Amino acid sequence: MSLLDVTIVAVALPTIQRGLGATPAQVQWVVSGYALSFALALVTAGRLGDALDRRRIFLLALSAFTLFSAACGAAPDIALLVAARLAQGLAAGFMAPQNSALIQQMFRGAERGRAFGFFGATVGISSAAGPLTGGAILALAGSADGWRWIFFVNVPIGVLAVLLGLRLLPRVERSGRGSVDVPGIVLLGLGVLAVMYPLVQADAGGLGRLWWLFPVGGVFLALFVRRQFRLVARGAQPLLDPRLFSTVRGYAVGAGVGTLYFIGFSGVWLVFALFFQRGLDFTPLESGLAVTPFALGSAAAAVTAGRLVDRFGRLLTVCGLSAVILGLGTTALLLWLVSDDAARWAAAPALFAAGIGGGFVVSPNITMTLREVPVRMAGAAGGALQTGQRLGAAVGTAALPGICYLVLGDTDHYRTALLAALAVALVGMTASLALAVTDWLRDRGAEASRRRCPDEVANSPVHSRQS
């Protein structure tokens, strides 16, 4: 629900605007406000889960998310809807890091890989299926107040999930590991806010007006990193342990791969919605159905990838990214070449192939990024990983539609706009592929060294530290 609500609302924005008499800038906050509060909470929530009780925080956040979903659906005006969405995003941000941390707490070895496979499938499906789900709900509930059911549908699902969580999630003794770094929370929050605010305001000219917030955010983030190193040096408990990036094998690379991938991955769905709905006059449901092959391919591949990641490692990510780049590139060319009538089916095989590749990216990358993280740091590590993904998603959802509108302002040609935006998305994915290939080649080199000189490697200081 938390990830689906990032994209599901986008198809309902025109009906929300008409139903509540809102301005375009006001209604944009229904999407951007949720994304902003979601990202702000992630690292802090992960650290609180590590220090206190992941199960309790998860269930409280899930209950709050369900409550604020009902408040969104019942909102009588745009101001209350935006306020409820901000609160809903905050609850989602507190819930999300506990997901990966609970998986690490409850599973080991190959079982953890399979669990992360299902988790990765959920991430891929929910991110890609938002337009289809939103379009289907609007088609069933009607165009007048049908948008309210986009939020109301969360209520029965959330209530059921809370009841199942109370019954099935294991109780763990409260760890109480140290205090929470409140100054670090403030510095990180200000840094993330300063970086993300111009991005979520991109449609309203935020990049041009608020560009100065980027260096301000960089200063706050630099101060945050400096504070975390000082806390570690004093033996205190940091909000986000910098040793995650320097000593935990695979974490820094995995975070980079995920962030770069989500820059392209998240923005393409808004671009497709713009092309199909405005360029080809599709309904929201038809637009969602047109990109469903990607979601189907992603779902099929992600669960399988969870079983294969222990055997093939980073190679799965390399193959997956290659398939996504090839599939989306072929999709762009086909939609450029075929007629409007053929567009609804011509690109389906290429999108399905890209979806299979996406399934081999998200799930294995999450597994390899988090598998060697100590359980005591699992929440903060998962929060930091998802914060990078949310920042990447914010960049993609701001940049790619912006490129579309820029091209449309000059040519009014939707096919050209689609091709330009997808080309930029593929640049981000290619950068992610380059990072994954570098890591894969390094792993192969290390494995070859171990095979040639097993005794030297076993007795080396680096190996001893890792052991």
- CA dihedral sign of residues 51, 54, 57, 58: positive
Model pLDDT, residue 177: 54
Tell me the C-alpha distance between 404 and 369, whole Å.
Answer: 33
CA 156-160-163 angle, to 5 degrees, is 145
| Other Cβ atoms within 10 Å of 212 Cβ, number | 10
* H-run or E-run covering 269: helix 251-274
The tokens describing 236, both together, are: 């205190």
Tell me the C-alpha distance between 111 and 103, whole Å.
Answer: 10
The residue among 344, 335, 380 whose CA lies nearest residue 243 is 380
Q: In a structure prediction context, what are the per-residue pLDDT tens digits for the chain, which is 467 residues long? A: 888 887 788 777 778 888 888 887 778 788 878 878 888 888 888 888 877 888 999 999 999 999 999 999 999 999 999 999 999 999 998 998 888 888 888 887 778 777 877 787 777 677 667 777 888 888 888 767 788 999 999 999 999 999 999 999 988 765 545 567 788 888 888 888 888 788 777 666 666 788 888 899 899 989 988 988 888 888 777 877 788 787 788 888 888 998 899 888 877 887 888 888 888 888 878 877 888 888 888 878 877 887 787 788 888 899 999 999 999 999 989 988 888 778 778 888 999 999 899 888 887 888 788 877 887 777 778 778 877 887 787 777 777 877 887 787 766 688 888 888 899 899 989 999 999 998 888 877 777 777 776 655 445 444 444 44
| Domain layout of the chain by residue ranges | 4-170+239-445, 181-238
The tokens describing 220, both together, are: 């706050």
The residue among 329, 328, 336 whose CA lies nearest residue 413 is 336
| Other Cβ atoms within 10 Å of 163 Cβ, number | 11
Model pLDDT, residue 5: 83
Model pLDDT, residue 111: 81
Model pLDDT, residue 202: 67
Model pLDDT, residue 457: 46
Using CB atoms within 10 Å of the CB of residue 144, give its burial: 0 to 12 exposed, 13 to 18 middle, 19+ buried: exposed
Identify the CATH number of the domain defined by range 4-170+239-445: 1.20.1250.20
| Other Cβ atoms within 10 Å of 233 Cβ, number | 8
Model pLDDT, residue 430: 93
Tell me the C-alpha distance between 467 and 463, whole Å.
Answer: 6
* H-run or E-run covering 140: helix 130-141
pTM: 0.77
CA 109 to mean position of chain CA atoms: 25
